[in-house]
Structure 1
């Protein structure tokens, strides 16, 4: 059984432009219902994982094949750091587009880094940079939505809730101090705006760690290669 590809208008949804979410959140229960099957929301197709169409139980009503929307990619990200309270260590990021995808990103940074939160933001930035390459240089002309999947509360809530408040406060926190990792958050914001101007909506999907193993495994593999070298 193959995969049934279509645009929203081809599955009975209005052909008028879809309004983007102002909160940038991807919330499956609002799209697929409270009893959604997370294993059926994502389907690999070629180099990417596409998000399932919520109609007809995620399947085409005519042929029964998994039904997905072209141009709606799910990208899993994770960043990790081998620091301790006493010693700074290297960090690594993993960006997972799909199994064996050439778009996957694995990077290790040997320069000292303060926290895993910084690495998580760097992984998010790497995903957005790759999304821009896909939009500009490949045949993915249909690309209209990137869903960043992460188990990091810091990244997901930071981008969807906190950055707007920090920007209004001149990138100061509630204590009037500079926001930690403020420069990185601002870089992520600028990259999101760049993609928005190219017609790509960016959403964030916060999941449990167990649902983000692909990206976590990629990040950890950078340390595995370091031990072998």
Structure 2
């Protein structure tokens, strides 16, 4: 049996990279009946929130919730997980760059340490755990197709 999960992830930051910045991440599951269920997470103030950290945190929330959902399922179905993000950065991190960076000792093409390594390592570990149960795909979508996750992310920042 195949169990399909469709998850929309979005992160945001107000005051990007400034000492007073706030950020949040959201992950939203779409059920087979078209209903949505979401989770949010505020970004800590240290290190300073950025848009990129928020987007990777949204991927982490999506992966954590997918693993949690899998543990609740009866039996051990084969997973087919699709994570949608309007961040080309986050999608490229998880589909292309992370493999190069791990081979290169987390040094980027400019010879510098990869930014957001802490979050990327966490996302990579979660990704590997989920891939033990099936397929995980990261897909870029236009921002207007990610409205629910975007709204939840903004609401979380409004509450900060």
TM-score by length of 1: 0.62
Q: Tell me which of 75, 78, 85 is aligned to 1:150.
A: 85
TM-score by length of 2: 0.87
Match of 1:81 in 2: 13
SS in 1 for 2:159: helix
Q: Distance in 2 between matches of 1:109 and 1:85?
A: 12
Q: CA deviation at 1:164?
A: 1.1
Q: Is 1:132 paired with 2:85?
A: no
Q: Is 1:223 paired with 2:133?
A: no
Say which structure is richer in strand.
2
Provide structure 1 residue ranges, at least 5 long, that are not aligned to the other structure: 1-6, 8-69
Match of 1:105 in 2: 39
Q: Distance in 2 between matches of 1:191 and 1:202?
A: 11
Q: Distance in 2 between matches of 1:146 and 1:153?
A: 18
Q: Distance in 2 between matches of 1:192 and 1:76?
A: 15
Q: Distance in 2 between matches of 1:151 and 1:88?
A: 25
Match of 2:104 in 1: 169
Summarize the Cα distance change of 1:202–1:187 in structure 2 as closer, same or farther, 3 Å threshold: same
Q: Is 1:214 paired with 2:148?
A: yes
Higher relative CO (Cα under 8 Å, sequence separation at least 6) belongs to 2
SS in 1 for 2:15: coil
SS in 1 for 2:26: strand
8 Å CA contact 2:17, 2:49 repeated in 1: no
Q: CA deviation at 1:206?
A: 0.3
Match of 2:130 in 1: 195
Provide structure 2 residue ranges, at least 5 long, that are not aligned to the other structure: none
Q: Distance in 1 between matches of 2:36 and 2:106?
A: 39
Aligned residues: 155
